[in-house]
Amino acid sequence: MLRKSLLLIAIAAACRASAPKIPDAPASIAGRVTSVQSGNGIGTVRIEARPEDTAGSAKAVVRITEATTVIGAPASVTADFTAIRSGQWVRVWFVGPVRESYPVQANAGTIVIDSAGVQP
């Protein structure tokens, strides 16, 4: 009985420690984090595909909520909002409605931090 209990505990711990899942679909936007702001739920980040372009390239202001999954670098690490920094390259999957402005505004379902500053 004790062995069975220990086995169940080990299985449960292994399930919790598994790597976070990156969505199968293409990211809604990929680019460099150019701004990080706390507040408005948890916070917002500005993502720019080509920060050197003042207009015309993909840009988004993304709201991070309690429901957002943040995956750190390496991709086997679950992180949180505090791991997101200006200069990082990230991929973001939107959830819910996308406000069609420029830059677009949306909630993040998943954010994957690809690097600390070098485009992958």
Could you check whether the bond before residue 103 is cis, i.e. omega within 30 degrees of 0?
yes
- Tokens 């086995």 -> residue: 7
In this prediction, residue 3 carries a pLDDT of 56
CA–CA separation, 83 and 26 (whole Å)? 22
pTM for this model (two decimals): 0.78
CB 5 within 8 Å of CB 57: no
What is the per-residue pLDDT across 18-56, written as a single tens digit (0 to 9) for each?
A: 678 889 999 999 999 999 999 767 899 999 999 888 877
Kindly list the structural domains of the chain, giving each domain's residue range(s) and its CATH number in brackets, ordered by start: 21-115 (2.40.50)
In this prediction, residue 117 carries a pLDDT of 61
Provide the residue type at 71 as one letter.
Answer: I
Phi–psi pair at 37, nearest 5 degrees:
-130, 130
Q: What SS3 string covers 44-62?
A: EEEEECCCCCCCCCCEEEE
